[in-house]
Structure 1
Amino acid sequence: MAIWYKYERDYSDETLIKVAGELEETVENAKEILLGGLLNENRVDLYRQYTDDDGEECTEEAHSDGTSDTYTLFMKNELYTRLWEAYEKPEYTERKMLSQRLGYCFECHSVFYIVHNDLDEYGEPKKKPIKKMMYTDIATDHEYSSANTAHNKCEKALEKLRKAINDLI
């Protein structure tokens, strides 16, 4: 871009030949490089900073991710569909033990829960992370004889997930 600025950002054929010569690239490659540079210059910050009424510095997202790129949406949908199919491979109890061991909600798959009795400084309910359970607690919950049994069951469930995900690839 500095070389192009030297030629006053002129996009004529003569200027492009000079820029390509200085870059030691073909004219087509120089055009691609300049296009990439121009696109970088036109970027927009995703977050804006401002000072609120109390004088505190705040940052908020200026542009939400509302992409309508059909390819991206299709690929995300395909990925999520296949991951859910892989998640269904282990048995019900294995999935339940995995949720307890890895610390997420079995029903909604969230990694936190909301405590309505405990409010933050803005009066909103606090979000607290779901704690991971130890194998001894999982064994007690599922009426297994030892923590080793719960550990082995969780490892088998993880192996089933790995295999199912590898089958997707």
Structure 2
Amino acid sequence: MAIWYKYERDYSDKTLIKVAGELEETVENTKEILLGGLLNENRVDLYRQYTDDDGEECTEEAHSDGTSDTYTLFMKNELYTRLWEAYEKLEYTERKMLSQRLGFCFECHSLFYMDHNDLDEYGEPKKKSIKKMMYTDIATDHEYSSANTAHNKCEKALEKLRKAIKDLI
């Protein structure tokens, strides 16, 4: 960026060739470098500091938190509600296979489990993610003849879920 500033931030082809020569890069790479530098310069601080009426230094968030947007929260809640309702309407084996394939708990729908055999430095059990199973393992678990059968069952179950939430999306 300092080399580009030396040429008064001119973006003409002639200047880019000079900058590329000084950087010992191609013109295309130089354009990418300059773009990265410009994007880096245009960043905005998430917090701003100011002095209040009492003379105390204060820090506040400069950007509003969009997570409290009621429409977005309502739609996410509606989507999740319909999704889990549709999931509960699936056959037992379809639910079991989907939970194994997608890596969540069949009973509580959690993505994690607490491993009491592996403790952290404070003696607390570590939180670990539930591993996704391969179709061959699912087929073996459900006594199917091939992984293709497990794959087809999972795809049919996913299609049922898609149909259930189709009108909402």
Q: Which moved more, 1:76-85 or 1:87-96?
A: 76-85
Q: Which moved more, 1:15-24 or 1:98-107?
A: 15-24
User: In the TM superposition, what is the alpha-carbon distance from 1:110 to its structure 2 partner?
Assistant: 1.0
1:150/1:70 CA distance change after superposition, 3 Å: closer
SS in 1 for 2:89: coil
User: In the TM superposition, what is the alpha-carbon distance from 1:111 to its structure 2 partner?
Assistant: 1.2
Q: Which moved more, 1:115-124 or 1:146-155?
A: 115-124
User: Structure 2 matches for 1:38-117, cutoff 5 A?
Assistant: 75-117=75-117
Asked if structure 1 preserves the Cα contact closer than 8 Å seen for 2:115 and 2:126, the reply is yes
Gaps of 5+ in 1: none
Q: Which moved more, 1:22-31 or 1:32-41?
A: 22-31
SS in 1 for 2:115: strand
User: In the TM superposition, what is the alpha-carbon distance from 1:52 to its structure 2 partner?
Assistant: 27
1:164/1:40 CA distance change after superposition, 3 Å: farther
Asked if structure 1 preserves the Cα contact closer than 8 Å seen for 2:83 and 2:161, the reply is no
1:101/1:6 CA distance change after superposition, 3 Å: closer
Q: CA RMSD in A?
A: 10.6
Distance 1:66 1:49 in 2: 21
Asked if structure 2 preserves the Cα contact closer than 8 Å seen for 1:89 and 1:161, the reply is no
Identity of aligned residues (%): 95
User: Structure 2 matches for 1:127-142, cutoff 5 A?
Assistant: 127-142=127-142
Partner of 1:151: 151
Q: What TM-score do you get using the length of structure 1 for normalisation?
A: 0.55
Asked if structure 1 preserves the Cα contact closer than 8 Å seen for 2:104 and 2:110, the reply is yes
Is residue 124 of structure 1 aligned with residue 124 of structure 2? yes
Asked if structure 2 preserves the Cα contact closer than 8 Å seen for 1:104 and 1:130, the reply is yes
Q: What TM-score do you get using the length of structure 2 for normalisation?
A: 0.55
Distance 1:25 1:13 in 2: 14
Distance 1:56 1:146 in 2: 70
Distance 2:138 2:65 in 1: 39
1:109/1:14 CA distance change after superposition, 3 Å: same
Asked if structure 1 preserves the Cα contact closer than 8 Å seen for 2:79 and 2:168, the reply is no
User: In the TM superposition, what is the alpha-carbon distance from 1:159 to its structure 2 partner?
Assistant: 1.2
User: In the TM superposition, what is the alpha-carbon distance from 1:36 to its structure 2 partner?
Assistant: 28
SS in 2 for 1:114: strand
Asked if structure 2 preserves the Cα contact closer than 8 Å seen for 1:89 and 1:160, the reply is no
Question: Which aligned runs of 4 or more in structure 1 are off by greater than 6 angstroms?
Answer: 1-73
For residues 52-90 of structure 1, the C-alpha deviation after alignment (integer angstroms, 9 at most, x for no partner) is 999999999999999998767655543332222222343
Distance 1:105 1:8 in 2: 59
Distance 2:122 2:60 in 1: 17
1:161/1:147 CA distance change after superposition, 3 Å: same
